[in-house]
Amino acid sequence: METFFVSEKEKSVINALQNVSEEAIETKINTLKKWIGQCSHLPLESKDEEFLKIMLLRGKFQEGNVKKRVQNYFTHLCKYPEFFVGLKNIKPSNEVGVVVTSPALTPSWERIVILSLDSEKLEKVLDVHRCLYFAIATGTILFNYDYVPSVRVILDFESWTMSHILQGNINDFFKVRDIYENVFKMRISGIEIINAPHLLGAVLNLAKVVLKPKLFSRITVHKDLRSLYEKVPKQNLPRDYGGELQSVKELLKVWDEIFTKKRGFLENIEQLCQRNGQEESIFGPQGSFKTLVVD
């Protein structure tokens, strides 16, 4: 489902908005590949040009930042193996946790990501770790294939209860934050909370503990969908939210196809995670690099 992600034409527009030319990107990629060739600890996957283009976008085309991000990316894949092993076996439509994205970008070039629960599959005891695991899996694909400047996240708490929140392990939330900051590092332009009046205090208290102040300041609590439409156009929302897209269930089927097509990529992520974790001559405790040199 490559058409689900950003087209080559859209990439050119995004690059122009970042004030960087195709020629400049090519020059930076060649410089990065030369640097990677001098870093024996980095795997061959780090030389992939499409991967480096993504890293350049995430690093705002500043080579020093990009080098650090490349190092961090491969370090943190093995730091938390519980979030990166077995991703190839996921089928989104079977998950209790729901993660779907809008097929088209917003007029401000954002990708909309919706996180919620499937009430039809919801059991008395919710596995919050599994929900986070699935979100990381989707994020892994988006980070490596979706050439977008930023994402806007919608958190729908309609089917959540206080007991669900209390079942979450605070250490898991901190691990996910660390993965976001060091593996994905995608700009989140906003976090839109909906259907959470009964949980609002608990949700915001948890967010204040886990999120850094800059990201916490980007949270908006919506009293209704009309308020949400002020931030997210209807053409970027599923029918379930009064939008013009196909339903959440239909979007999950699209993601079933994406996960199937990206199975080889997800297998490679798992192999990198396991291989890096075993290479004590290269990696230090918990899979971290013994040295982190960015010239």
CA end-to-end distance (rounded Å), the chain: 38
Please give the backbone phi and psi of residue 258, each rounded to the nearest 5 degrees, phi first. Answer: -65, -45
Return the bridge partners of 11, or none. none
Q: Which amino acid, residue 169?
A: N
Helices (H), the chain: 8-17, 22-37, 49-58, 63-79, 128-145, 162-167, 170-179, 200-210, 213-216, 225-229, 248-261, 263-278
Among 255, 246, 268, 269, smallest CA distance to 90 is for: 255
Q: Which amino acid, residue 159?
A: S
Where are the domains positioned within the chain? 2-83+265-287, 91-260
Q: What's the pTM?
A: 0.88
Contacts 24+ apart (CB under 8 A), 22-29: 24/61, 25/53, 25/56, 25/61, 28/56, 28/61, 28/63, 28/66, 29/53, 29/56
CATH class of residue range 91-260: alpha beta
How far apart, in whole angstroms, are the C-alpha atoms of residue 170 and residue 110? 29
Q: Can you give the pLDDT of all 295 residues of the chain as single tens digits?
A: 455 788 888 999 999 998 999 999 999 999 999 999 898 888 888 889 999 999 999 888 988 889 988 988 887 778 888 999 899 999 999 999 999 999 989 999 999 999 999 988 887 668 999 999 999 999 999 998 999 999 999 999 999 988 888 888 999 999 999 998 888 878 899 999 999 988 899 999 999 999 999 999 999 999 999 999 999 999 999 999 999 999 999 999 999 999 999 999 999 988 888 765 554 333 333 333 332 333 3
> How far is C-alpha 99 from the chain's CA centre?
10
How far apart, in whole angstroms, are the C-alpha atoms of residue 219 and residue 205? 12
Structure tokens at 137: 């899996």
Q: In terms of DSSP bridges, do strands 97-101 and 110-117 run parallel, antiparallel, or are they unpaired?
A: antiparallel
